[in-house]
Structure 1
Amino acid sequence: MRIGNNPEKEKSKISKTCLHRIIVPVYIPNLDIGYFKDGLEILKICLKSLFSTTNNSVRISVFNNGSCEQVEEFLLNLYNQEDRFDQILNSKVNIGKVNAINAVVKSTESLLYTISDADVMFLQGWQQNVEEVFNNFPEAGMVSPVPSSKAFSYYTASTLFYGLFKGKLSFEKVRNPNALCMFEQSIGSSLYKPCHLRNYLVVNNNSGKKAVMGCGHFVATLRKEVFYSSPNKPSDTKISGGSEATYIDIPNDVGGFLRLATLENYAYHLGNVLEPWMNDFNDEEVKKSNEFLSNIYVKSRRLNNFERRLSKFFSRFFFGKFSFLFKKIYNIPKEY
C-alpha cells in the first residue's frame, strides 16, 4: 500500500555536487604480515593529506574495493567525521580500479575528477597548481601534480601536436630531481637515467604559462569530458592489463585533450612500506594553511577532428623511426 505522494518527485533535478571530486579506490584485503601489512597506516596518511591540502570546493569519494573489516570500519568512522568525505561505496569483492572509478564518475557530476591510488601523500599547493594548469591550458584533459621526465611520449599525440603548432616545446631543467628519485624508491625499481633527472620536456602556451608534457596516472586530475570517450562496458581486469590505458589514457588522447603535469612536484607515491619520514613530513604539511580560492576554468577546448588525425601522424613520425630528429630539434640527449 502507498499513501500520499513522494515529495522527491517535486524536486527531481539533481544539481552539481561539487566543482572538483577526488576518487580513491581502496583495496586492502588484510593487515597480516605481507604486502598489505602497512596498508591501513599508509591509507591514513593519504586521506589525512587530502583533508589538509584541499579547500571546500572539493568532495571525496572512497570506493572500498573488498577491503578487510578493519579498513572498512576506519573508513566509515572517517566518513561520519569529515564533511568533504561525502561518499563511500562498499563492495564485498574487488571489482577492479577502473570499474571503481567509473562507479563514481557515472553517478556524480563534477567539472574535474582527481583519481588517486590509496598510497599517495598530497602536498600543500597541489590543488591550486593543478587547477591553474587547466586555467592556462583549456585544452588540457589530464593533469598530474607529479611530473615525470619519461612520460612525454606516452599517449601524448594531441599534446605533441599542440606543442608543435599551437604553443611551444622546450627542454628545461627539472625543478625537483629528488622527487623523481623518491618515486623510483617507492616502486622499488630503477626508472630514470641521470639525463632524466636533469631535464624534462615542457609545453608553453605562448603566454608564458608552462606545464610538463605527459604524466603517469597513479594520481591525476581529469576533465569530465574525457570519460565520454571511454568504453561503456565494464573492465574485465582488476588492475594493469591495459585497463587504465583503455579507459583513461586513450580516451584523453583521442578526444583531443592534452596530457600534462605541474612543473613542481606536489605529491609523493608511498608504496606499501611505512617509513618514519612519511608521518613526520605529513604532520608538517598539515600545519600549513590551506585557505585558498578554487580556480577551475569551466570552459574547455579540444583539438578538432582534422587536428586529431594530424596529431597521430606527427606522433608516429617523431616518436617512431624519426625520434632522433625530434631529439635533435629540441636538444634532447640521444640516451633520453
Structure 2
Amino acid sequence: MRKGNNPNKDKVTSDDKFMHQIIIPVYIPNQKDYFKDAFKIFKKCLQSILETVDFEYTYISIINNGSCSEVEKYLLILKEKGEIQELVNTSNIGKLNAIYKGVVGHNFDLITIADADTMFLSGWQQETIRVFNAFPKAGTVGIVPQFNMYANFCTNVIFDNFLQKRMQFFKVAEPTKMQKFYQSIGWNMKEDHYYLQYILGIEKGEVKACIGSSHFVATYRKEILNLIKKYVPSKMGQNSERLLDIAALNMDLWKLTTFKNYAYHMGNVYEDWMDEVSFLKKRVEIQSNGLKKNNTSKLSFLVKNRIFKKLLRIKIVNDTFFKYKGLPKNVLLKYGRTYY
C-alpha cells in the first residue's frame, strides 16, 4: 500500500555548480605480485587530484571495479568525508564498462577519464580549460604530450589546418618529462632521441596545443561520449579503448593535448621520485559554452578520414607535409614510416 506522495516527485535534479567531472576506474584485486604497489600508487593518484582541482566546479567519481576490501573501505571513508562526490562499487566488469557507469546519470560539460596510476600536476585543470576555450572544435584534450599522436585518429585536424600557419612542428617544450613517460612504460629512450625534439602542434594567440591525445588521461566534451556504445565485452585490451580514441573524430572534432606536460604515468611500481612531487591548487575559471552541433556530412567524413588519410600514407606526400610544416631535414630523415 502507498500512502501520500513521495516528496521528491516532480523535483528537478540539479548539480549546476559542477561543470567538470573526473572519473577514475580502479581495479586492485589484491596487494601482491603485479598489484603489490597498486594501492599506494592509487592513493597518490587521488592525492594529486584532491590537491590540484577547484572543488567549486569539480565532481569526482571513483568506480571501484572489483577491488579488494582494503581499497573499498578506503574509498568509503573518502566518500563519507566528502572528498569524493560519487563512489560506485561493482564486480570486475571491465575498464570501459566501469567508465560508462560514471558517465551515465550526469550532465557535466567536461569529463576527465584517467587511469588509477595517473599523477596529476598543478595547473592541469586550468590549462585543459584554456585549450578547450582557445579551440572550439576541440573534443578531446589530453595533458601528457607524446610523439606521433597526430597519427591516431587526427586526420580531420590535419585536414582542417593543412594550409594554416598556426599548425606546424614546434620544439618539444619539456623533453625530459616526455622521456619520463616512455620510461614509465618500459621504453629505453635516450635523451637525444629525435622524437623528443619536435612535435606537431597548433597555436592560437598565447595558447599552444599538440595535435592528438592518448587515452590514459584525457578530458572529453560530454557530447562525444553520448555516441559511445554502452557495453564492451572485453575487460581490457582488444581495442576496447579505441572507442575513446575515435570518439572526437566521429563528430569531426579535434583531439589535442596541452603543449606542456601536466601529468605523470606512475605504472605499477612505486618509486622515490613520486614522493618528491609537490602540488599547488590553482583557481579555475570554467566557461560553460556547451558544444554547438557539428553537422558533418558523410562526404566530408569520407574525404577527411579515408581519402586524405590514404594520401598522407604516401611517403613523398608525408615527407612534403612534414617539411612544409617546419620539420628540419636532418630530423625528417630519421623518421620512420608514419601510419595515420
Amino acid at match of 1:158: N
Residue range with higher mean Cα deviation, 298-307 or 127-136: 298-307
Stretch deviating more after TM superposition (190-199 or 100-109): 190-199
Identify the residue that residue 69 of structure 1 maps to in structure 2: 69
1:299 is displaced (CA, Å) by: 3.9
In structure 2, the residue matched to 1:239 is: 236
2:338 aligns with none
Task: Note the residue ranges of structure 2 that are not aligned, 5 or more in a row.
Answer: 336-340
Deviation at 1:327, TM superposition (A): 2.2
Name the SS for the 2:119 alignment partner: strand
Q: In structure 2, the residue corresponding to 1:200 is in which secondary structure? A: strand
Q: Deviations over 1:298-318 (max 9, x none)?
A: 344647325433311222211
Residue matched to 1:4? 4
CA positional deviation for 1:204: 2.9
| % same residue | 36
Cα RMSD of the aligned pairs, angstroms, is: 2.0
Residue in 2 that maps onto 1:304:
296
Report Cα offsets for 1:234-284 as digits up to 9, x if no partner: 101111211111x21222112101000001100000000111110221xx2
Partner residue of 2:182 out of 181, 184, 202: 184
Structure 2 CA distance for partners of 1:315 and 1:111, relative to 1, 3 Å = same
User: Is the CA contact 1:203–1:210 (under 8 Å) kept in the aligned structure 2?
Assistant: yes
Contact 2:21–2:108 under 8 Å retained in 1: yes
- Check whether the contact 1:21–1:114 (CA below 8 A) recurs between aligned residues: yes
* One-letter amino acid matched to 2:262: Y
Contact preservation (8 Å) 2:213, 2:256 = yes
Aligned to 1:334: 333
CA change 1:67–1:208 in 2 (3 A) is same
Structure with greater helix share of residues: 1
1:126 aligns with 124
Cα 1:191–1:217, aligned 2, differ >3 Å: closer, same or farther? farther
Equivalent positions of 1:104-143 (< 5 A) are 104-143=102-141
- Quick one: distance in 1 between partners of 2:293 and 2:166? 18
SS of 1:24's partner is: strand
User: 2:224 maps to what in 1?
Assistant: 226
SS in structure 2 of the partner of residue 243 of structure 1: coil
1:238–1:317 distance in 2 versus 1, CA, 3 Å: same
Tell me which moved more, 288-297 or 57-66. 288-297
1:325 corresponds to which letter in structure 2? T
AA aligned opposite 1:96: G
Rate the CA distance shift 1:82–1:221 in 2: closer, same or farther, 3 A: same
**Of 208, 226, 240, the match for 1:210:** 208
Residue in 1 that maps onto 2:309? 315
Q: Is the 8 A contact 1:17 1:110 kept in 2?
A: no
Paired position in structure 2 for 1:291:
283
Instruction: List per-residue Cα deviations over 1:132-188 (Å, max 9, x = no partner).
Output: 100001100000111112211111122112221567321110010011111111111
Change (3 A) 1:320 1:190: farther
CA distance, structure 1, for counterparts of residue 211 and residue 78 of structure 2: 36
CA distance in 1, matches of 2:131, 2:293: 13
Are residues 126 and 187 of structure 1, via their aligned partners in 2, closer, same or farther at CA, if it must alter by over 3 Å? same
Question: In the alignment, residue 81 of structure 1 is paired with which amino acid?
Answer: K
Whichever residue aligns with residue 241 of structure 1, its letter is Q
2:159 and 2:177 mapped to 1: Cα distance? 28
Q: Structure 1: where are the runs of 5+ without partners?
A: none
Deviation at 1:13, TM superposition (A): 4.7
